[in-house]
C-alpha cells in the first residue's frame, strides 16, 4: 500500500450493541488509523461510513476487506472495504 492512501469502510445492517467497537477494534489491530466516522440509523437499519488511513497499516485493502467480510458474516452485517479512489472518480468531475 502506498503511503497516505485512504480506504472507506461501510457497515450496513441491523443495529445492535457494539458494532462501532468491533469494527474499530479490528482497525486498531491492523494498524489502520480511523480518520472520520459518520453513522445514521433509519428505523432499525444501521449505516456507518468510516474513512481510514492505511499509511501505517500492517495490512492492505484486500486483506482488511477479507477480515471485515468475516466479521460481517459473524455479526450478520454487510461490511465493505473499498479504496477511496472509487468514490472520488464516480462522484467528482
Partner 1 sequence: MNANEILETIEMIDNEDLDVRTITMGVSLLDCAGPDPDAAAGRVYDKICRYAENLVRTGEDISRQYGIPIINKRISVTPIALVAGACPGASPVRFAQALDRAAHTVGVNFIGGYSALVQKGFGPGDYALIESIPEALSGTELVCSSVNVGSTKAGINMDAVEKMGRIVRQTAELTADRDCIGAAKLVVFCNAPEDNPFMAGAFHGPGEPDCVVNVGVSGPGVVRAAIKKSGAGLSLTEIAELVKRTAFKITRMGQLVAQEASRRLSVPFGIVDLSLAPTPAIGDSVAYILEAMGLEQCGAHGTTAALALLNDAVKKGGVMASSSVGGLSGAFIPVTEDAGMIAAARSGCLSLSKLEAMTAVCSVGLDMIVIPGDATAEIISGIIADEAAIGMVNSKTTAVRVIPAIGKQAGEELDFGGLLGQGPVMPVNTASPAAFIHRGGKIPAPLQSLKN
Q: Tell whether residue 91 is a contact of partner 1 (CB under 8 A).
A: yes
Per the CB < 8 A criterion, the answer to whether 6 and 35 are in contact is yes
Check residue 73 and report its DSSP letter: H
Is the CB of 22 or the CB of 46 nearer to partner 1?
A: 46
The Cα–Cα gap between 20 and 9 comes to 11
Q: Give the shortest CB-50-to-partner 1 separation in angstroms.
A: 10
Residues 25-84 that bind partner 1 (CB under 8 A): 36, 38, 40, 47, 49, 51, 60-62, 65, 78, 80-84
Q: Tell whether residue 10 is a contact of partner 1 (CB under 8 A).
A: yes
User: Can you give the binding site for partner 1, defined by CB under 8 A?
Assistant: 8, 10, 12, 36, 38, 40, 47, 49, 51, 60-62, 65, 78, 80-91
Amino acid at each position: 500500500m502506498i503511503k497516505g492512501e485512504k480506504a472507506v469502510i461501510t457497515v450496513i445492517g441491523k443495529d445492535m450493541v457494539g458494532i462501532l467497537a468491533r469494527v474499530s477494534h479490528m482497525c486498531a489491530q491492523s494498524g489502520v488509523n480511523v480518520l472520520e466516522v459518520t453513522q445514521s440509523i433509519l428505523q432499525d437499519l444501521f449505516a456507518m461510513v468510516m474513512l481510514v488511513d492505511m499509511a501505517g497499516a500492517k495490512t492492505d485493502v484486500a486483506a482488511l476487506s477479507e477480515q471485515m467480510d468475516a466479521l460481517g458474516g459473524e455479526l450478520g452485517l454487510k461490511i465493505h472495504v473499498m479504496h477511496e479512489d472509487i468514490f472520488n472518480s464516480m462522484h467528482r468531475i
